[in-house]
């Protein structure tokens, strides 16, 4: 509690100061698209939204795109292994947050409930900006946008005013010490008054991760603890790890975007993206001794889309927008269990076909209406390859990889939204969406009694928000929105290794539904820009893991018995709905001017989750873990001081980033090998009178960090950062790898 008061006091103390150039991470005067699906000043939206611009992305020089979000208020960035990362928005992650690239949905029907790797397949070096919408976005973005929406926008196309084509070559190199990282990028932009293009390609290679001072002490039950000093003696059934290995990985990517301006009112754009990541070790599976080898191999993604924009097609329509897309995701798992004689590989290819469009009209006085629709169809190919290690003999199962081969999923959506300016200082925004979804998978490929799985349904979602101008520089905002997520193929048909055991098909789960209400203040003064938001969410039928034996006792279906037989000594889980869950939180962020060239920025977030009802009954309060939600983020925050010279040729930052301890653990957290503790048995964990685990959980941590940059002439920029100055050893809550120790990063970018 004392630490909470210290951190809160530090955040509130910012209000006593005052910036001319606030950081891009929180800028309420920014124009964003995510909150309303059309450009709108964030200060005048009822939703909680952050914009991270190109300048700040370049200053951060991130390894992967999820790292960009680690310094954004209200976002908790988890990392299961290197080369991957997953944002947690308001306590929800995985398939409960929606990710979009240039308006095309990244999520597909194979996304899992826990943190996943897919955001990392978007290269961070050719992004124009990222918008983070916190809170339910189902009305605007459909099924899955329960915790929020992350919208990625790649490089803009630049048309010139003349018929002559202007060319701008660019290059970038980046080096980091903590993981011997090397990144190189080449690009070319150009255009005239009718044509424009942007081409980028980059490659990266990283070695093992060098950690801060201390050791990881591992237990035979797959749990671990971080210790500062090497113990005098270690029992024979435990072991110490100083540096985490193997963690080397590499990837290449390329993007191409072309634009053709047909006339002043019409534009056609075509874009292609590719990501290739050959193999990435999942360290948390190897370090426990459970697996000799566990890799994501490969992790590939391709996106092709075409966008057509038509302005003033009709007298009452301002703009029409149509996008057609093809998304190809190919991924594999390669695993060898400890002391096994066989290697297992599973390959899944998801092909997603998408079509979406919307029209915007301001024909009615003081109103802006948006009407649109979306359609996505997933086709899944899946197979398993087993290899005898002694003979190298391969056996293929073309019926099932992680999923039944030939599975499909689709969803169709129609939505409408209206913005009404009731008065000059009062705006009302409301809308609704209809969603239809359908899944099909042949579960009889593993068990005839399960047959052909077919599930479909509909849902209506909506939202209403209000912006009231108390003064010209201070707005009171409030918003209410409903959320919906249809069960996907991962919920219902997957057979997959997880952090707790193995997930098995669960065809009986029902959709997740919920609502959120939030209220807060938005300030946009000349010397202070900030926001504070309080929210309350109720989620019905939240999907969660349970052990098979807790549901079926000794009468297991044959499908589950077969999975258990193939995976001896591994626990088998299925999915079930939790009746009612509550998540509440407080989000604060602010930017201030201290003196002419010195500014201060900070954010602070508290999230609290609670299970209210399971199986028509309240949780057993004598077991604190029974009412905790999975992966609840700890209280966390950042304080940043930035100086920039008057000519804007040099800048420097000192920032403190940290999180408090997290000992509010669920049953899944206790079983999770990525979260510190001595036992995976919830009943063996001791709790204090406040329901906090005494001998398990993630300790609090903080880091001191420096960043600076200088312009070298008119065409080059050199950025240098030193992270974790105290060389502290720590892990983000729920992450599968420790954070880097002392890390020096240099980045040089040039425009020719």
Tens of pLDDT along 617-672? Answer: 999 888 999 999 999 999 999 999 999 987 889 999 999 999 999 999 999 999 99
Q: Per-residue pLDDT tens for 577-623?
A: 999 999 999 999 999 999 889 999 999 999 999 999 998 899 988 89
Q: What are phi and psi of 691, to 5 degrees?
A: 80, 20
The pLDDT of residue 367 is 96
Please check the confidence at residue 17 and state whether its pLDDT lies above 70: no
Please check the confidence at residue 11 and state whether its pLDDT lies above 80: no
Cα end-to-end span (Å), the chain: 54
Q: Per-residue pLDDT tens for 308-322?
A: 999 999 999 999 999
Band of residue 29 on the pLDDT scale cut at 50, 70, 90:
low
State how far the Cα of 749 lies from the Cα of 716, in Å rounded to an integer.
Answer: 6
- Average of per-residue pLDDT values in the chain: 91
Please check the confidence at residue 3 and state whether its pLDDT lies above 50: no
Quote the radius of gyration of the chain (alpha carbons, Å).
25
Pairing of strands 716-723, 743-751: antiparallel
Of the ranges 155-169, 202-216, 507-521, 571-585, which one carries the lowest mean pLDDT score? 155-169
Rounded to a whole number, what is the largest CA-CA distance in the chain?
A: 81
CATH of the domain at 173: 2.40.170.20
Please check the confidence at residue 747 and state whether its pLDDT lies above 90: yes
Q: How many domains does the chain have?
A: 1
pLDDT (mean) for 97-117:
91
Q: Per-residue pLDDT tens for 542-562?
A: 999 999 998 898 889 888 998
Contact 156, 117 (CB under 8 A): no
pLDDT (mean) for 48-58:
91
The pLDDT of residue 344 is 95
Please check the confidence at residue 23 and state whether its pLDDT lies above 50: no
Contact 140, 433 (CB under 8 A): yes
The pLDDT of residue 751 is 79
User: Residue 608: which domain range?
Assistant: 2-751
Q: Per-residue pLDDT tens for 405-423?
A: 999 999 999 999 999 999 9
What's this model's pTM, rounded to 2 decimal places?
0.92
pLDDT (mean) for 380-396:
96
pLDDT (mean) for 245-253:
94
State how far the Cα of 631 lies from the Cα of 732, in Å rounded to an integer.
Answer: 11
CA–CA distances in Å: residue 682 to residues 576, 597, 685, 735: 19, 53, 5, 20
Strands across the sheet containing 239-241: 224-227, 215-218, 239-241
The pLDDT of residue 232 is 86
The pLDDT of residue 714 is 83
Please check the confidence at residue 15 and state whether its pLDDT lies above 80: no
Residue 486 CB burial class (10 angstroms; 0-12, 13-18, ≥19): buried
Please check the confidence at residue 20 and state whether its pLDDT lies above 80: no
pLDDT (mean) for 332-336:
95
Q: What is the 3-state secondary structure (H, E, C) of 336-357?
A: EECCCCEEEEEEEEEEEEEEEE
Q: What is the DSSP string of 177-245?
A: TTTTEEEEEEEEEEE-SSEEEEEEEEEEEE-PBPP-SSEEEE-TTS-EEEESS--S---TT-EEESSB-
Q: What are phi and psi of 118, to 5 degrees?
A: -75, -30
The pLDDT of residue 553 is 87
Please check the confidence at residue 8 and state whether its pLDDT lies above 50: no
């Amino acid at each position: 509690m004392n630490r909470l008061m210290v951190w809160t006091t530090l955040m509130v103390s910012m209000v006593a100061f005052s910036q001319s150039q606030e950081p891009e991470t929180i800028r309420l005067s920014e124009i964003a698209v995510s909150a309303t699906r059309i450009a709108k000043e964030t200060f005048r939206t009822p939703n909680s939204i952050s914009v991270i611009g190109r300048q700040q992305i370049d200053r951060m020089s991130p390894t992967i795109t999820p790292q960009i979000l680690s310094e954004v208020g209200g976002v908790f960035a988890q990392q299961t292994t290197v080369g991957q990362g997953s944002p947690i928005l308001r306590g929800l992650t995985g398939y409960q947050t929606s990710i979009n690239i240039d308006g095309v949905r990244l999520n597909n029907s194979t996304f899992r409930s826990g943190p996943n790797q897919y955001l990392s397949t978007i290269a961070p070096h050719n992004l124009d900006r990222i918008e983070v919408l916190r809170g339910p976005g189902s009305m605007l973005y459909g099924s899955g946008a329960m915790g929020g929406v992350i919208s990625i926008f790649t490089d803009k196309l630049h048309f010139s005013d003349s018929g002559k084509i202007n060319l701008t070559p660019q290059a970038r190199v980046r080096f980091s010490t903590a993981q011997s990282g090397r990144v190189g990028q080449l690009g070319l932009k150009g255009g005239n008054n009718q044509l424009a293009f942007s081409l980028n390609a980059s490659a990266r290679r990283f070695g093992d991760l060098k950690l801060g001072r201390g050791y990881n002490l591992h237990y035979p039950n797959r749990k671990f603890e971080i210790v500062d000093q090497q113990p005098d003696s270690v029992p024979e059934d435990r072991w110490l790890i100083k540096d985490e290995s193997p963690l080397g990985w590499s990837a290449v990517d390329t993007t191409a975007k072309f634009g053709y301006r047909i006339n002043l009112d019409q534009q056609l754009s075509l874009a292609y993206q590719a990501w290739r990541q050959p193999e990435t070790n999942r360290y948390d599976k190897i370090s426990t001794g459970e697996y000799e080898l566990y890799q994501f191999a490969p992790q590939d993604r391709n996106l092709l889309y075409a966008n057509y924009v038509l302005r003033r097609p009709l007298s009452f329509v301002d703009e029409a927008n149509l996008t057609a897309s093809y998304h190809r995701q190919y991924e594999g798992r390669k695993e060898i269990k400890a002391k096994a004689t066989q290697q297992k590989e599973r390959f899944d290819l998801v092909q997603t076909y998408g079509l979406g469009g919307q029209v915007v009209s301001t024909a009615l006085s003081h109103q802006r209406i948006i009407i649109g629709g979306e359609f996505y169809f997933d086709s899944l190919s899946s197979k398993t390859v087993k290899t005898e290690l002694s003979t190298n003999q391969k056996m293929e199962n073309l019926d099932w990889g992680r999923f039944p081969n030939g599975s499909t999923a689709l969803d169709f959506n129609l939505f409408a939204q209206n913005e009404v300016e009731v008065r000059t200082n009062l705006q009302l925004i409301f809308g609704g969406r209809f969603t239809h979804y359908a899944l099909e998978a042949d579960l009889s490929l593993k068990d005839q009694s399960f047959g052909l799985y077919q599930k479909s349904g509909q849902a209506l979602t909506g939202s209403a928000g209000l912006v009231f101008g108390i003064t010209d520089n201070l707005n009171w905002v409030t918003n209410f929105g409903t959320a919906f997520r249809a069960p996907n193929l991962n919920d219902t048909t997957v057979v997959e290794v997880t952090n707790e055991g193995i997930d098995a098909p669960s065809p009986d789960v029902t959709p997740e539904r919920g609502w959120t209400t939030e209220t807060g203040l938005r300030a946009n003064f000349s010397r202070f820009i900030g926001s504070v938001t309080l929210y309350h969410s109720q989620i019905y039928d939240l999907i969660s893991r349970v052990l098979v034996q807790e549901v079926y006792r000794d009468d297991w279906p044959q499908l589950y018995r077969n999975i258990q037989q193939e995976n001896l000594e591994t626990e088998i889980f299925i999915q079930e709905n939790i009746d009612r869950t509550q998540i509440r939180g407080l989000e604060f962020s602010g930017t201030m001017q201290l003196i002419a060239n010195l500014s201060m920025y900070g954010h602070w977030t508290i999230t609290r989750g609670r299970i209210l009802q399971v199986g028509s009954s309240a949780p057993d309060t004598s077991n604190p873990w029974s009412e905790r939600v999975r992966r609840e983020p700890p209280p966390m925050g950042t304080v940043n001081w930035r100086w920039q010279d008057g000519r804007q040729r040099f800048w420097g930052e000192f920032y403190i980033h940290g999180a408090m301890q997290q000992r509010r653990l669920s049953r899944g957290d206790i079983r999770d090998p990525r979260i510190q503790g001595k036992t995976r048995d919830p009943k063996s964990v001791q709790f204090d009178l406040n329901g906090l685990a005494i001998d398990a959980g993630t300790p609090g941590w903080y880091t001191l960090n420096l960043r600076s940059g200088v312009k070298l002439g008119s065409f080059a920029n050199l950025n240098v950062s030193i992270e974790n100055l105290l060389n502290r050893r720590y892990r983000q809550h729920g992450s599968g790898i420790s954070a880097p120790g002392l890390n020096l990063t240099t980045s040089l970018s040039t425009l020719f």
